[in-house]
Chains A and B, each alone.
Chain A
Amino acid sequence: MNTYFDNAATSFPKPPEVAQCMSHYMNDEGGTYGRAAYPRVQKATAMVEQCRDTLAGLMGTDKAENIAFSSNATTALNALLLGMLGMKSVGISPLEHNAVMRPLEYLRKRGRIEYSELPKLADGCVDLDKLSKIKQNAYNLIIINHVSNVNGVIQPIYEIAGIAKDNGWFVIVDASQSLGQIPIHVTHCNIDALAFTGHKSLHGPTGIGGFYQKDPQTVHPTIFGGTGSNSNSYDMPDEVPDRYQAGTPNMVGIAGLLAALKHPPIPQHSREDFLDCMNEIRQINGVTLFSANDVSRQSELFSLTHIRYSPAEIAQRLFDLNGIEVRAGLQCAPCAHNNLGTFPEGTLRISPSPYHSQDDLLILIKSLSDVLRK
């Protein structure tokens, strides 16, 4: 049985090719990125560029060079938010993670920005009707958490970006939980920047992520150093991706991410299986479920609280009973919990992966019923 239900934290297991390709790079290939011309470096550099090109295809851009690698979505969002100039009024979606909130708060305390929440529905979904009535000069920038890591709400990103375009607002999307799972097309959608991580919905290794930036001139680099290009200057190159990629990239991480992109898992359960599981859990006595009001806006993760037991108690009981691993608490998203009314205790989050079978989901339901009945 697959007892790991904390895939929103980091996905596990990974496609077997991920570890194989990382090991192959470490043991047999090696080589750095773009710093020399011998074949080992050529091969390593080509691998990095193949990964970048594959990501570009996934995001829907023909400008792969506008994708820069970083350690994860948090460093990517920091690079975007701290490097962005002239964005004084910021609107945030109601289910933001601290990867966005902490850089914003850092900037707010230094008088560089002000931020406020976009209008919302009860489940934290952005209220499109109210958003469309907001004055054009209310924001320069809006930030949207595409899929909430708390209740799994999928924000209506196309509609939001459409309203933003009409108003001239810059749009940043945090696709940490969505890239590879929920289709997103940055060109059709008119998204200005998108941050991603390799180790969640993409099923790659930890330590590799990045961001796409439509117009690189709007974001200044925040990391400075060697790029293997324009080396006679102390200034960072203007060209992308070099502009944002000082230092040797995480080559082994990129090898793993490329393998993950080439070998996405084949789902072992259906959409109906997942929705049945969620609804069965919703029926358990004393449970309050936190999910999308509109089932078409529900990704494969959700949260719950119980009338008697705290999230931490339930998590411990699930582990003790059947070794089931879930996340309890605030999930680094106090903003989301404030909006869902679950702050400060938080929730118990259940986040399956495509590798869970229908039987795994049934065991989860039974285990939860058992621990909450006691």
Chain B
Amino acid sequence: MFFGNKLAVFRNARAVMKADVSCRQAGLKARIIAVPPTISSDCGMCIQLTESQIADFAQLMDNLGLETKLYDYPNL
């Protein structure tokens, strides 16, 4: 079971898919989960990460030109 304590939220489903493919290609173990209602009322997806993955993840998103917002998961 994967327990990341960070959530990356994107503007739409396409962005989530792009980020997910990029993470998998880079060997970054993350997973897609539903966006918690505390963050947004959207019915879509976000990416769950661990603290230690944040720097690599941010670099990947930067390379892709994808805008993302990070949230602490346990504090929700």
Q: Which A residues contact B (CB, under 8 angstroms)?
A: 33-38, 41-42, 45-46, 49, 52, 64-65, 227-232, 237, 239, 241-242
A228–B43 contact, CB under 8 A? yes
Known contacts A37-B34, A228-B12, then 10 further A-B pairs from the complex at CB < 8 Å, ordered by chain A residue = A35-B43, A36-B45, A37-B32, A37-B45, A41-B45, A46-B20, A46-B21, A231-B40, A232-B41, A232-B42
Chain A hits for B33, CB < 8 A: 37
Contact partners of B58 in chain A: CB under 8 A: none
**In the complex, what residues of A have CB within 8 A of residue B41's CB?**
231-232
What is the predominant secondary structure among interface residues of chain B facing chain A? Answer: mixed
For A230, the chain B residues whose CB sits under 8 A away are 11, 42
**Chain A residue at minimum C-beta to C-beta distance from B11:** A239
Which residues on B are within 8 Å of A, measured CB to CB? 11-14, 16-18, 20-21, 32-35, 40-46
Question: Is the pair B42, A231 in contact by a Cβ cutoff of 8 Å?
Answer: yes
B42-A49 in contact (CB<8A): no
Show 10 A/B contacts (Cβ-Cβ < 8 Å), sorted by A. A33-B13, A36-B34, A37-B33, A46-B20, A229-B42, A230-B42, A231-B41, A232-B42, A239-B12, A242-B14
Chain A contacts of B20 at CB under 8 A?
42, 46
Closest Cβ of chain B: how far from A219's Cβ, in Å? 18
Contacts of B42 in A (CB 8 A): 228-232
Q: How far is the CA of A21 from the CA of B34 in the complex (A)?
A: 27
Q: Whole-angstrom distance from the CB of A215 to the nearest CB of chain B?
A: 16
Docked CA distance A35–B16 (Å):
12
Would A37 and B44 count as touching, CB distance under 8 A?
A: yes
Residues on B with beta carbons closer than 8 Å to the beta carbon of A64: 14
Give the nearest-CB partner of B48 in chain A: A37
Contact of A227 among B12, B17, B34 (CB under 8 A): B12
CB distance from B47 to the nearest CB of A (A): 10
* Min distance, Cβ B71 to any Cβ of chain A, angstroms: 15
CB distance from A247 to the nearest CB of B (A): 14
The interface residues of chain A lying within 8 Å CB-to-CB of B17 are 42, 45-46, 49
Q: B32: which of A42, A228, A229, A232 is its contact (CB, 8 Å)?
A: A42
Q: Which chain B residue shows the least CB distance to A233? A: B41
A237 — which chain B residues lie within 8 A by C-beta?
11-12
Instruction: For A228, give the chain B residue with the smallest CB separation.
Output: B44
User: Closest approach, in angstroms, between the C-beta of A213 and any C-beta of chain B?
Assistant: 15
- Tell me the bound Cα distance from A49 to B45 in angstroms: 15
Chain B residues lying within 8 Å of A41, measured Cβ to Cβ, are 45
- Determine the distance from Cα of A188 to Cα of B42 in the docked complex, in whole angstroms: 37
In the complex, which of the residues B11, B14, B18, B46 has the most CB atoms of chain A within 10 Å of its own CB atom? B14
Using known A-B contacts A35-B44, A42-B45, A49-B18, determine if residue A228 contacts B11 with beta carbons closer than 8 Å.
no
